Every structure is written in structure tokens, then in C-alpha cells.
Homo-oligomer: A and B are copies of this chain.
Amino acid sequence: MRLHAQHQPIALMRTDCHVCRSEGLSPRSQVLVIAGDRQVQALLYQIESELLAPGQVALSEAAWDELGIADGDPVLVRHTPVLESLSGVRRRMYGQRLAQADMAAIVRDVAKGRYTDVHLAAFLTATAALPLDAAETIHLTGAMVDVGERLRWRAPVVVDKHCVGGLPGNRTTPLVVAIAAANGLVMPKTSSRAITSPAGTADTMETLAPVELDMDTLRRVVDAEGGCVAWGGAMHLSPADEIFVRIERELDIDTEGQLIASVLSKKIAAGATHVVIDIPVGPTAKVRSDADARQLAQRLQDTGAHFGLAVRCLLTDGTQPVGRGIGPALEARDVLAVLRNEPDAPPDLRARAALVAGAVLELGGAAAPGTGTELALATLARGHAWDKFQRICAAQGGMREPPVAAYVEPLLARRAGRVIGIDNRKLARLAKLAGAPESRAAGVLLRAPLGSAVERGEPVLLVHAETPGELAYALDYARTVEDVVVIG
């Protein structure tokens, strides 16, 4: 029946199946489905229907993929083994710290799909309630690297960058990669999809070119062009991270320790040696104060150093979105405008990208200290970044135009005045309710940045949606909150 349940492996069996009876399996049991040397842990549901014969099992698409079998192949269904690593999760819930071996056992079981949503939520909540300390953060980072693939590059210097997020539209990555590669640096960039934001870099880049590259393709792109922008999840660099991210998204949380382990595990696994991390600071950004940002920067540097990774953090302005678009396709359009040196390209996005790229050029040895930003701006202005970006997209499988939303509705200024505040969190929530990031064309276009003057009735935001249901959902929300854009 091709049962789609996202990542969830599901096994369907008859209530009167002899396997269920002799093994004592009941609905919502966790079961192990084994086919040859492959196995998957699945959630069992039972049916009373002739759709299945006794002894037959139906599987969700995720389970088929994991097992790599064909219709009619025999499988073995049995109880899952006792999950010993959960005792570590329970101890952690009650405030005991985890040793390296505990963390390694937990992450191994997570990566193998043995943790239910309940177990995952408990682990992540426990590490939110009592934050991971320095040692635990190192243990978690190392454990997450160990369960994944690891890239190795011939180049002695491999640069990378990351933005801790929380700032809608801050889509500098494709620009930074193009600038760095155009200046001869090796930058094999793997990005994530959105955790709690309306778009991750991988979501945005996917509207411009394929990002689900296998290891061979990625290597070929980087060997040829010096850079790429690929989805990290397809590379299995940090498979546990993708699983944690799904639950963090459902809980709408993102803790410091998990953030550090998530970011650095992927950088280490991707083979980076030098990493620039952009930390936007603002009252409604993810990091709200300079003090918090400096603490995060220190912990990122310390944890990175433990793994031989040079980390440089930039504290940047996080008081308002960067660029105009929020949502995968809308952000991609901003990126293209900057690359193409279009006259109305968002100047703030150009400046931010040049700042981050400048730090990458300096840290990677392609620019003298203090000259990086200037070189980055010149690389953009001369069209070298645009050339490089097109070559990268072509190498990744072909460049394409971002999709356009079928439904667009303006939100109007309720009074005349000057824009004195923009709530990044509410803006992000609005874009998500409109369907981003799953609906690629959905999101919000900001028409009135901080400081701009607006007339009453003039559009301050445009909500883009792919379906009327999602448009209505977003507009409902916009009506209940008043201060997404504050006019003073």
C-alpha cells in the first residue's frame, strides 16, 4: 500500500498472526524486523483484515528503505533487545552527569533507530533542564562523530562556516562558499535543514540546485570547484543529529550543548580544519545578549580545540532579519540578487556575507588580517562569486529557478509611522505557519525594514503560501498578534 510515515519504520501484522501470539506482541510494541544481515526497529500496529495473510507483514516506506528488500522476501519479527543505554538517560534525568561511555552508548542506540520518540524527548529535555557541561558536550560531540561517516580531504586547510541561526533570512552560506572557492580555498559545505526556523541553508539551496549529494558526487564537486553547498543529512556525517533535530523541532527547543555538538560534530565529520561561526545577537534572535554570545563562542572554541578544530566566532547584529525573504525560495531570490549585483539586491545581506566570507578568507590564509571583507566585496562586485556559484550548481546537478508561491497576501500597516521594531520570532513563526520550510515557495517577504517610514494601509509584509489552508493558518496567526512589525 506504500505507507508513508516520514522517518518512522512501521510493521503491520494481523492480530491473529501466530508470530504475534507466540512472541506476545501487542499494538505499539517495538519490534525488530530482520532481513539477512540488515534489521530495523519498527513500531507494530495490528489489523483485523484479509489484506494480510497470517504470518505476513506490511512495512512503511522507511522500513522498506532500511531493509533494502523486495515484496515477498522473508523477514524475521521479534522483540527488541533490552535497551541498556536508557539507564543512562534515566540517571541524567535525575541530575547525574554522563561519562563518555554512557554518552557513546546512548548516541549509538539513537543512531541505530532504537530510541522511541518518548526516549528521545526525555534525553533532550533532560539536557535542557540541566544543561550539558563542558565534558558532556565533548562526549556528545565525539559520540556523534563516531556513529557517522567522516570525510577526509587532501588539502591541509579546509574551511567551513556556520550561523547559529535565530535570525530569519540570514542566508549568507551560498555567498560565502562562492567567495571562498573563487579565492582558491577548499570549502566542502554541508548544511542542515531547518530545526525550528522557517528555512535551513539546505532548504534554501535546494530551490537552486540538488543538495542530496552522495559522497562521490560531493567529492567530485569539491575537487572540481573547491566548494559545494550540500545537505549534510544525505552524507550521514552525523546521523544521530538528524534524529535529535526532528524531536527538537517538535519541542521547539535548541539547547546550547546540543547546538555545539550538532554544529561541531558535522564540521569535524566533514573534515574541516578552520571554521567561522556567525552568532547574531539581538533581543529576539536565538542569542539575546553579548554575554550569552561570548559564553557560547568560548564553549564552541574550547570544544572545537579538543578535536583540533580552529574556531573563530563573529558576534553580529541580530536585531532584524537579513535580506528581505524568509522561507526557502524567497531567501534564494535574495542570494541570487546579491550574486548578480542587481541594483535592488539587499545591501544588508551583501554586507553580512562579505563580513563572514572575509573572516573565512583570513582564517583560511587567503587574505591578510584585516583585508578579508574588502577582498570578499571585490569578489562579488567583479562577478567572480556569481561565476563560481553557477559552476557549483551545475556540478551539483544543474541550476534551477526557485519556485513561486500560488497565494500571496499582504499584511498592511495599521498606522503611519516609522518601523521601530521587528519580532524575529513571530516573523519566523508566521513564515512557518505559511508552510515553510516544507512548502518551498512559502514564507514572508519583509517590505519595511527597521527605520523605514510607512503609510497607513501600506503593505509591511507579504505572506506567501502554496495552499489556501496554509495561507489562512498564517493570516489567522497574524491577526492574533499585533507586534510582528512595530510602527512607532
Q: Tell me, in angstroms, the Cα distance from A129 to B129 when the chains sit together.
A: 6
Contacts of A368 in B (CB 8 A): none
Interface extent on A, as a size class?
A: 35 or more
Cβ-defined partner of A467 (8 Å) among B15, B24, B252, B469 = B24
Is residue A419 contacting chain B, with contact meaning CB distance below 8 A? no
Contacts of A247 in B (CB 8 A): 118
Is residue A439 contacting chain B, with contact meaning CB distance below 8 A? yes
CB-CB under 8 A for A252 and B439, given A2-B48, A24-B470, A129-B93: no
Contacts of A253 in B (CB 8 A): 90, 93
Closest to A124 in B: B122
Is residue A27 contacting chain B, with contact meaning CB distance below 8 A? yes
A425 to chain B, nearest CB (A): 11
Q: Tell me, in angstroms, the Cα distance from A467 to B24 when the chains sit together.
A: 6
Contact between A4 and B23, CB atoms less than 8 A apart = no
Cβ-defined partner of A116 (8 Å) among B6, B117, B468 = B117
Is residue A365 contacting chain B, with contact meaning CB distance below 8 A? no
Contact between A118 and B117, CB atoms less than 8 A apart = yes
Closest to A78 in B: B469
Contacts of A477 in B (CB 8 A): 82
Q: Tell me, in angstroms, the Cα distance from A433 to B82 when the chains sit together.
A: 9
Contact between A125 and B28, CB atoms less than 8 A apart = no
Cβ-defined partner of A45 (8 Å) among B3, B27, B93 = B3
Cβ-defined partner of A122 (8 Å) among B60, B116, B251 = B251
Cβ-defined partner of A79 (8 Å) among B26, B251, B469 = B469
A133 to chain B, nearest CB (A): 14
Is residue A369 contacting chain B, with contact meaning CB distance below 8 A? no
Is residue A1 contacting chain B, with contact meaning CB distance below 8 A? yes
Contact between B24 and A469, CB atoms less than 8 A apart = yes
Is residue A64 contacting chain B, with contact meaning CB distance below 8 A? no
Contact between A125 and B93, CB atoms less than 8 A apart = yes
Cβ-defined partner of A4 (8 Å) among B46, B82, B95 = B46
Q: Mark A86-104, 1 if CB is under 8 A from B, else 0.
A: 1000100111000000000
Residues A222-255 near B (CB distance < 8 A): 247, 250-253
Contact between A252 and B90, CB atoms less than 8 A apart = yes
CB-CB under 8 A for A94 and B128, given A46-B4, A79-B473, A466-B24: yes
Contacts of A60 in B (CB 8 A): 45
Cβ-defined partner of A251 (8 Å) among B1, B2, B21, B118 = B118
Is residue A8 contacting chain B, with contact meaning CB distance below 8 A? yes
CB-CB under 8 A for A49 and B1, given A28-B6, A117-B117, A435-B24: yes
Is residue A281 contacting chain B, with contact meaning CB distance below 8 A? no
Contact between B129 and A125, CB atoms less than 8 A apart = yes
Is residue A51 contacting chain B, with contact meaning CB distance below 8 A? yes
Q: Tell me, in angstroms, the Cα distance from A226 to B125 when the chains sit together.
A: 46
CB-CB under 8 A for A23 and B469, given A2-B49, A51-B1: yes
Q: Tell me, in angstroms, the Cα distance from A204 to B119 when the chains sit together.
A: 29
Contact between B48 and A28, CB atoms less than 8 A apart = no
Residues A1-50 near B (CB distance < 8 A): 1-6, 8, 10, 15, 21-24, 26-28, 45-49
Is residue A453 contacting chain B, with contact meaning CB distance below 8 A? no
Q: Mark A361-378, 1 if CB is under 8 A from B, else 0.
A: 000000000000000000
Contacts of A124 in B (CB 8 A): 122
Residues A416-446 near B (CB distance < 8 A): 433, 435, 438-439
Contacts of A128 in B (CB 8 A): 93-94, 126
Is residue A151 contacting chain B, with contact meaning CB distance below 8 A? no
Is residue A121 contacting chain B, with contact meaning CB distance below 8 A? yes
Closest to A30 in B: B250
Contacts of A46 in B (CB 8 A): 3-4
Contacts of A252 in B (CB 8 A): 86, 90
Q: Mark A407-421, 1 if CB is under 8 A from B, else 0.
A: 000000000000000
Q: Tell me, in angstroms, the Cα distance from A48 to B126 when the chains sit together.
A: 39
Between A and B, 10 residue pairs with Cβ closer than 8 Å are: A4-B47, A5-B28, A22-B468, A24-B470, A78-B469, A93-B251, A117-B117, A119-B250, A121-B122, A125-B126
Q: A1-B47, A4-B48 are in contact. List 15 more A-B contacts (CB 8 A).
A: A1-B48, A2-B47, A21-B467, A23-B469, A24-B438, A24-B439, A90-B251, A90-B253, A93-B125, A93-B129, A93-B251, A95-B129, A116-B250, A118-B118, A118-B247
The 8 closest A-B pairs by CB, nearest first: A129-B129, A121-B121, A23-B469, A125-B125, A2-B48, A1-B49, A118-B121, A4-B46
